[in-house]
Amino acid sequence: VPVQQVPQVPPVQHTARLQADAPLMQVNTDLKFLPQPVIIDSIEYVYLIAFIDDRSRKIIHHQYLQTKHSVGTRDALQQCASKCPQGKFGVLHTDNGMEFHGSFYNLLDELGIIFNTSRPYTP
């Protein structure tokens, strides 16, 4: 029985990655569930949120949260913005999580930050 040759497929260059041209042009954020809670001053935190500059990859702000509600993410956004020149940055990119809506979205609007989300079901 002859063995069939598997055709070679050339590697595809990934070109969809957009990167900011300057620091604080775009900031990316996400919320991570912590399987092992962090306890600080007898308070149990089960989520971690981080805001990362897209250009430099520097963590601008990170914070532990007790819940996954927009009030906590809004407060973290306020802390992040306060660490930036002029108290804001250009664009915030998140996934479509509900924790990034409601009062979180209202603060983005108030600060004049453009809100950009990932397409549903994409990494």
- Classify residue 81: in a domain, yes or no: yes
- Classify residue 10: in a domain, yes or no: no
User: Tens digits of per-residue pLDDT, 19-28?
Assistant: 789 999 999 9
Q: What's the CATH code of the domain at 98?
A: 3.30.420.10
Q: Answer whether residue 105 shows pLDDT above 80.
A: yes
- Classify residue 75: in a domain, yes or no: yes
Spatial contact of 88 and 119, defined as CB atoms under 8 Å apart:
no
- Classify residue 21: in a domain, yes or no: no
- Classify residue 20: in a domain, yes or no: no
- Classify residue 63: in a domain, yes or no: yes
* Six-digit token string for 8: 């070679």
- Classify residue 90: in a domain, yes or no: yes
- Domain count within the chain: 1
Average pLDDT over residues 21-37: 95
Spatial contact of 28 and 54, defined as CB atoms under 8 Å apart:
yes
User: Tens digits of per-residue pLDDT, 52-98?
Assistant: 999 999 999 999 999 999 999 999 999 999 999 999 999 999 998 89
- Classify residue 123: in a domain, yes or no: no
Domain that includes residue 55, residue range: 26-117
Q: What percent of the chain has pLDDT over 90?
A: 75
